[in-house]
Chains A and B, each alone.
Chain A
Amino acid sequence: MTPELPASLVANPWISTWLTVADDGIIALRVGKVELGQGILTALTQIAAHELGVPPEAVRAAATNTASSPDEGLTAGSLSITFSGGAVRRVCAETRELFRRAAAHESGLDTAQVQLVSGVFVAPNGSRVGSYADLSGAVDLHVRVGDPSLEIELAPPTSKDLARIDLPDKVMGRPRFIHDLEFDGMLHARVVRPPGPGAHLEDAALEAISSMPGVEQVVRDGDFLAVIARREGQATQAAEALAATASWSAGIELPDPDDVEGWLRTAEAETRLIRNDSARHNDAPVVVNATFSRPFLAHASIGPSCAIAHYDDGRLEVWSHSQGVFTLCHAIAAALDLSPDAVVVQHVEGPGSYGHNAADDVAMDAALLATRAPGRHVRVQWSRGDEFSWEPFGPAMVGDVTASVDENGTITDWSYELWTNGHTARPGYAPHHSLLADAHRAGIPMLPPAVDPPAERGHGSARNAEPYYDIARVDVTVHRLLTMPIRTSSLRSLGSHLNTFALESVVDELALATGRDPLQMRLDNLSDPRAREVLSTAAAAAGWGAPLPDGHGRGIAFCRYKNRGSYCAVVADVEATDRLRVTRLTIAVDVGRAVNVDGVRNQIEGGAIQATSWALFEQVRFDRQSITSTDWESYPIARFSQVPPVEVHLLHRPDEPPLGSGEATQGPATAAIGNALADALGVRVRALPFTPDNIVAAINAAD
């Protein structure tokens, strides 16, 4: 047994925080990671049952509650299996041994003689000593993990996939989502947002609206405006009527949508050297210079955000689908001037969020409104338009690459300079006004600029900005904007998306410029055998090297997520006629030990399809005052007829630590599509998305 404890256990060392065993044998598991549709509760249940030696049905994993669950921070960064999985495994192994010791004590046997068979402790002769239920009264779990007197051997690293525990409710139509939660006498609220960032409320017919049918209250607090009504439809109607009466000042000016790149390059920014080896490009035989960009991207959750709050006697309870209920709890307490102990946030499953979307903001809305209607549950539902207008977006980015290769095909020097807003603005990222309602209440013109996770958490803007290839001299500079007219925060894979697109496009350009095969170019510059193996596996499965018909193209790309997480290689096949169609994605991944193999496949398939949607269609639209892509017509995403078949090859690594899977494909899938498009057209498109407009512009620029 390794002496060091997983990080989640250092912060939450009591076994009883994580699990309790009831006298009916049901094992209540409490974790600090939340179900986002990625299957984490299923995987953790599987780990717990396997380690305890009980059927999975005996384990009930509870949704995270800030008052009773271990604080494991955010559910983000493809780290949940690594952190929570490691903690659950250790907690359950120690629990099992505490029960074995109790069984030995009961039966007068040596601990080593007691066997565990299907959840029952038995003597060497097969006679029953007792089950977890029988022994639950004899074992005190209010002990710290890491008891040196326990002899612990972890169960074998792999176990049979457990089917998703949340899926039956969702498929049979039973209430499961936060949107489905209902309380007696619950009130419905809608918030009326400003027409654009920084607009201040001048006037609104509060009294007239408050006499509309069903309206209980019209709330104004600075620039925050809302209605609370008895019926949901009444709240919606009153909010529409209220919006029609409201007059607002002109807001701040948004960047010129036709020159986002110019704005990014000139806005006030903080500049950081991520790496500085003094790369040289003057004397190299082949040098490639290229600029890559992506637009603002929306999380575009299929269900607009929702929350419920209840305030009574100085205590606030909030139900939320946030990815970070603990940080949300503190941020709400700070904004409402309550003690953190007076606020409890209960996680309830929501629609997929893919990063920091409006889930936290709507919780703040509900909390604020609940304090105005004490004793009643207040439910706030955002509209589709509000979600598209006010969620924090994945930031627009532009990056310049200069790269040099020698006669032998060795990449020798690499320079990368990136301009972007920060990639995280989770609740509490700034001392004040990190939640939208709090900012509107205070009337500040724009939220504090988004920041970036530190290097030890894999960077934000600079994630995968340093090549994983063996390159002698690498320079990376990041300019993080200190102004945020368009709100940004973390979107699946953070900066890795654009950085990997840029990096992997240039590796292809270097290969083409030196007459080398793009796959071979990568293999020749990568010493890590696991990196090479995903590339070879994906290439072989896709038939790399076989000729393609006219108008078709094939591209390959690689990424090791955060340069220390999972390995992923993608081969994309495309057809480029009047528009780009992705016809197939062939993917090889190495995520270390896969706890739930089908769960990993599902994440990889989904990530690749979402990345395809980003690459082909997605772009937040705005004018100088407001966001204009406010529905699914103006922010189209991939539909069934536009989605490629995805083939996933998962490398078997049972003895390697788990590396995470949720964000593995975003960068390499995008880059592989870009490389395939260049292969088909003979022209490289370096501005995302690959819309007909951007493709035509690239062709015209090349002529």
Chain B
Amino acid sequence: MVSFQLTVNGRDHTVDVPRGTSLLEVLRNDIGDKSPKFGCGLGQCGACFVLIDGHPTPACDTPVEYVHGEVRTLAGLGRPDAPHPVQSAFLELQAGQCGYCVAGMIVSAAALLRDNPRPTRDEVSAALDRNLCRCGTHQRFVDAVLAAAGSAPGSET
């Protein structure tokens, strides 16, 4: 066991875990933040995405010792009384079916809107292209991100 320090959602944590433990395992099982999901363990699907210094990163194949920046997860993006605009828009537009990919979707969308507050529909699609959804909720996700950005759903601008 090795001690690692990391900052998650603005709080400092010290965890004693075996070297090589994935950031996803540390977040879910040691810190108890279940919001990022295990999807493939291969960095291919986006279900486990978290922000590291603002960049969407697969937590499943990132060993905890390689994490040097600040980690933010879906659970740390907003609070029940002050949700992130993307979270509000997902609820408003009922953007979800099973919801398993939603954590990674919202994390990717939040990163997009920070860098590009008024994305086009194609830019939203491109930003979410690394995130897989199996239920076919893509259209609602894109509409919700556009709504969060203040654009009308379906608008091409």
Q: Which residues of chain A have a CB within 8 Å of any CB of chain B?
A: 36-39, 163-164, 166-168, 170-177, 179-180, 182, 213-214, 231-234, 237, 300-304, 349-352, 354, 381, 383-384, 598, 602-603, 605-610, 612-613, 631-633, 637-641, 643, 645-646
B125 in contact with A640 (CB, 8 Å): yes
CB contacts under 8 Å to A, within B14-64, are 17-18, 20-22, 25, 28-29, 32-35, 37-42, 44-45, 47
Contacts of B20 in A (CB 8 A): 233, 237
Chain B residues with CB under 8 Å of chain A are 17-18, 20-22, 25, 28-29, 32-35, 37-42, 44-45, 47, 73-78, 80, 83, 87, 90-91, 94, 96-103, 106, 124-126, 128-129, 131-142
Q: For residue B127, give the distance in angstroms from its CB to the closest CB of chain A.
A: 9
Asked, given contacts A36-B98, A173-B73, A303-B38, whether A637 binds B134 with beta carbons under 8 Å apart, the answer is: yes
Q: Which residue of A lies closest to B97 (CB)?
A: A37
Q: State whether A605 touches B45 (Cβ < 8 A).
A: no
Chain A residues whose CB sits within 8 angstroms of the CB of B98 once the complex forms: 36-37, 302, 349-352
CA gap between A231 and B22 in the complex, in Å: 12
Q: Given known contacts A213-B18, A231-B18, is B132 in contact with A171 (CB within 8 Å)? A: no
**Residue in chain A with minimal CB distance to B88:** A171
Q: A167-B96, A640-B125 are in contact. Are A234 and B18 (CB under 8 A)?
A: yes
Q: When the two chains form the complex, which single residue of B28, B87, B139, B142 contacts A171, counting CB atoms closer than 8 Å? A: B87
Known: A171-B87, A171-B91, A173-B74. A610 touches B135 (CB 8 A): yes
Task: State whether A602 and B94 are in contact (beta carbons under 8 Å apart), knowing that A171-B106, A173-B103, A175-B34 are contacts in the complex.
Answer: yes
B96 and A170 form a contact (CB under 8 A): yes
Are A167 and B99 CB-contacts (below 8 A) given A233-B25, A351-B134, A641-B125? yes
B50 → A minimal CB distance (Å): 11
Ranked nearest first, the 3 interchain pairs of A and B with the lowest CB-CB distance are A37-B98, A609-B136, A173-B35
- Once the chains are docked, how many angstroms separate the CA of A213 from the CA of B131? 34
Q: List 5 A-B contacts (CB under 8 A).
A: A173-B73, A302-B100, A302-B132, A303-B100, A646-B139
A177–B28 CA distance with the chains assembled, in angstroms: 13
| Chain B positions within 8 Å of A182 at CB level | 29, 32, 34
Rounded to whole Å, the gap between the CB of A644 and the closest CB of chain B is 9
Contact among B34, B73, B77, B136 for A606, CB-based, below 8 A = B136
- CB closest residue in chain A, given B128: A640
Structural contact, B29 and A231, CB atoms closer than 8 A: yes
| CB–CB A303/B44 < 8 A | no
Query: With a CB–CB cut-off of 8 A, which chain B residues contact A36?
Result: 98
* Closest Cβ–Cβ distance, residue A506 to chain B (whole Å): 27
Asked if residues A172 and B78 are in contact (CB atoms below 8 Å), the reply is yes
Interchain CA distance A172-B75 in the complex, whole Å:
6
Q: Which residues of B contact A303 (CB under 8 A)?
A: 37-39, 47, 100
